[in-house]
Structure 1
Amino acid sequence: MPPAPRRSDGTRAAILTAARERFAADGFERATIRAIAADAGIDPSMVMRYYGSKDKLFAAAADYDLRLPDLDGVPRDELGTVLVGHFLQRWEGDETLMALLRAAVTNEAAAERMRGIFGAQLGPVVAKITGGAPDAPRRAGLVATQTLGFALCRYVLKLPPVVALDRDEAIAWLAPTIQRYLT
């Protein structure tokens, strides 16, 4: 018989759920420990006990999986198209990722979290595509500039010409640049 879950596990999970929802709704700057605790139905001191600070709570709440696709069977000349389509799908409708992007612009802990996510998840994919080329980290960084920059302009800043692009147009504009960075 497996051991019964500890009460602290449920409390941590409730805090993380409340934090993700609050950060997504209010952004990093406006979200408060007090509001997150209220959403979780606990005392604010418990949030601090488990996470120590708002920055550390955000980093824990922003544990994010880009769910990058397996590109092994993708024809080499379609890699950019597949990756751009994937990133558009991830950005659209994912409030946790949007909250992280918004926060990363003004908060060093959030920026570090975003760097970690992209470095740990995108870096190995690009390294595999390039056969471990010495410039693979640079290429991954350049792919990130396009995907993060587009997301910032489309979903956060809401620049009208970028917002007006439909999915196919966005892919048509971005994919060749991503393709060049990859290959």
Structure 2
Amino acid sequence: MMLSVLINKIGVAQEINWVTFNEALELQKKTPKKIMMDVYTNWCGPCKMLDRNTFHNKDVVEYVNEHYYAVKFNAEGNEEVSYDGKTFSNPNYNPDLTNRRNSPHELSRYFQVQAYPTIVFIDEKGKLIFPLRGYKTPTQLELYLKMFKNDDHKGMDTQEKFNEYYKAFQYEFEG
């Protein structure tokens, strides 16, 4: 712990504490927190930009590490995942296509992922909150990180209510 404090003071980039989806679900049982899952592919340029520009932003790193379990999930990978009483895999995965377009993982489809990157937010009970599509800057992501963390999305049943929230939101992240 002292080393990370020292590193922060001298300005070396801090990292998000990424875990697997299965690990995040286990961690939730002991200490309930929401999950932020970065659903990416190996070939996706905007996914790499999100990782480089947003997930290495100091404010994003600190907020995510404190308030979420963070998961990186390859939407076209071959990891087997147990979730919601089911086992998800990628039966059509082709190892020869590891860095090119491959078959979509069953869990990606389950979470309504239709574009990459998508950041999937999951509540403390392991239920889907929302799949947020596309590249987001640190300040764009801040709105959603805080809205879902604080459950402000509950009761936002119209676009008008979201627009009011958006207009009133006080941004704090840099970048």
Q: Common fold, TM-score beyond 0.5?
A: no
Higher strand share: 2
TM-score normalised by L of structure 2:
0.30
Structure ranking higher in helix proportion: 1
Give 1 or 2 for the bigger CA radius of gyration: 1
